[in-house]
């Protein structure tokens, strides 16, 4: 990892209260996650649904309050920071959501939605500058500037997600946190939007946290990937390393279960992936132990912590690899 770390998250803990069968529980959605992001880098976060990916992203942008931990943006602590540093961070760390329908206000024009963050922060010096910025941003995401006066219902899913990206990059942020940004899109449109995000990453030197349940998509866009299981990072390494030589038993299952588009490489019936966990019944030792093919006695008692393995900065939380 290079020296210019732009975002540094240490030991993030987030819990929610939840009700089940009439009883109240606390659910530990994020259980001590540490991540860092260098300038211009794309870090992927992958894992099954419910493992805490979205909560990590929402906590970083301040939509969820962490129970403990630190979140440093360019060296400044954001948790409990004063309103002026928070405002600066809100413009600098922006989020793209999975569902472009839910994240766009149906009664606002596309232009107003795209300019929202700039309007709130007093970024635009004149109406003309504002219109020019909207037009340039729409063009930048591959939309005709005339879309500015249209409404979300007039757009296709792919176009709406482009608007979702446009509103995240005006004014130009340092970091984009993209939460499953292409998961709701068809493959042909998904490829278009992924290409756009890679172009923006390069042109604007954006750093990105790219959250997805799809390792294929992560492999395309991110240079490093963190694999999450039950609120923890269990493996982190270069994306190619993870895809080609996954080491943690959970990562191995995730990679093996990708449906390869090649009928000569069939896997059905050949791999064991176990039952997904419930956050209501967290195992004592390694959270993955109930599904793990190589679990030993120690795994049932001791929680494995991340340690370095090999060279390229790979870390793994497992007693047996």
Partner 1 sequence: MLSVRDLTVSVGPETAPVDIVAGVSFDLAKGEILGLVGESGCGKSMTSLAVMGLLPQPGPRVRAGRVLLEGSDVTQLQPWQRVEAGHGRMAMIFQEPMTSLNPVRRIGDQIAEAVRVHEGISGAAALSRARELLELVRMPDPGMQLSAYPHQLSGGQRQRVMIAIALACRPQVLVADEPTTALDVTIQVQILGLLRELCNRLDMAVLFITHDMGVIAQLADRVSVMYAGRIVETAAVDALFGEPRHHYTRGLMDCMPSRNSGVRRLPTISGQPPVPGTVAAGCVFALRCAAVHDECRVAAPPRLEASQGHEVLCAFPLAGGELP
Ligand X SMILES: Nc1ncnc2c1ncn2[C@@H]1O[C@H](COP(=O)(O)OP(=O)(O)O)[C@@H](O)[C@H]1O
Considering only residues 268-307, where is the footprint of ligand X by CB under 6 A? 279
Query: Applying CB under 6 A, does 105 fall inside the site for ligand SF4?
Result: no
Q: Nearest distance from residue 97's CB to Mg ion, in Å?
A: 10
Applying CB under 8 A, among 151, 171, 192, 306 the residue interacting with partner 1 is 192
CA–CA separation, 274 and 276 (whole Å): 7
CA–CA separation, 76 and 228 (whole Å): 26
Pick the stretch among 23-31, 112-120, 163-171, 216-224 that binds partner 1 (CB under 8 A).
216-224
**Binding track, positions 229-248, relative to partner 1; x by CB under 8 A:** -----------x--x-----
| SS3 per-residue string spanning 27-69 | EEEEEEEEEEEECCCEEEEECCCCCCHHHHHHHHCCCCCCCEE
- 281: partner contacted, choices Mg ion, partner 1, ligand X, none (Cβ within 5-8 A by kind): none
* Sign of the Cα pseudo-torsion (46, 52, 55, 60, in order): negative
**Binding track, positions 84-113, relative to Mg ion; x by CB under 5 A:** ------------------------------
Q: How would you list the strands of the sheet with 224-229, edge to edge?
A: 93-96, 175-179, 207-211, 42-46, 224-229, 232-238, 315-316, 307-308
**Binding track, positions 17-56, relative to ligand X; x by CB under 6 A:** -x--------x-x-----------------x-xxxxxxx-
Closer to partner 1 at the Cβ: 26 or 240? 240
Best CA proximity match to 277, nearest among 213, 212, 229, 242: 229
Closer to ligand SF4 at the Cβ: 164 or 304? 304
């Amino acid at each position: 990892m290079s020296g210019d770390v732009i975002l540094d998250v240490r030991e993030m803990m987030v819990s929610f209260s939840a009700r089940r069968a009439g009883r109240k529980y606390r659910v530990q959605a994020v259980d001590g996650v540490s991540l860092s992001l260098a300038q211009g880098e794309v870090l992927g976060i992958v894992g099954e649904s419910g493992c805490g990916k979205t909560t990590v992203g929402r906590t970083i942008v301040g939509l969820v309050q962490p129970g403990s931990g630190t979140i440093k943006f360019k060296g400044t602590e954001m948790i409990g920071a004063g309103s002026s540093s928070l405002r600066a961070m809100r413009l600098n760390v922006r989020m793209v959501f999975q569902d472009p329908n839910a994240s766009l206000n149906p009664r606002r024009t596309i232009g107003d939605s795209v300019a929202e963050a700039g309007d709130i922060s007093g970024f635009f010096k004149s109406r003309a500058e504002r219109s020019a910025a909207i037009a340039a941003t729409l063009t930048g995401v591959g939309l005709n500037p005339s879309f500015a006066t249209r409404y979300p219902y007039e757009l296709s899913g792919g176009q709406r997600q482009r608007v979702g990206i446009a509103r995240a990059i005006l004014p130009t942020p340092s970091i984009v946190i993209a939460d499953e940004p292409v998961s709701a899109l068809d493959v042909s449109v998904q490829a278009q939007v992924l290409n756009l995000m890679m172009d923006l990453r390069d042109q604007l030197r954006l750093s990105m946290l790219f959250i997805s349940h799809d390792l294929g998509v992560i492999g395309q866009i991110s240079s490093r990937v963190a694999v999450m299981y039950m609120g923890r990072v269990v493996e982190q390494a270069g994306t190619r390393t993870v895809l080609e030589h996954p080491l943690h038993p959970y990562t191995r299952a995730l990679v093996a279960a990708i449906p390869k588009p090649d009928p000569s490489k069939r896997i059905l019936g050949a791999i064991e992936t176990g039952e997904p966990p419930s956050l209501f019944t967290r195992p004592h030792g390694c959270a993955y132990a109930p599904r793990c093919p190589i679990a030993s006695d120690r795994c049932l008692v001791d929680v494995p912590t991340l340690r370095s393995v090999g060279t390229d900065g790979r870390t793994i939380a497992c007693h047996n690899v």
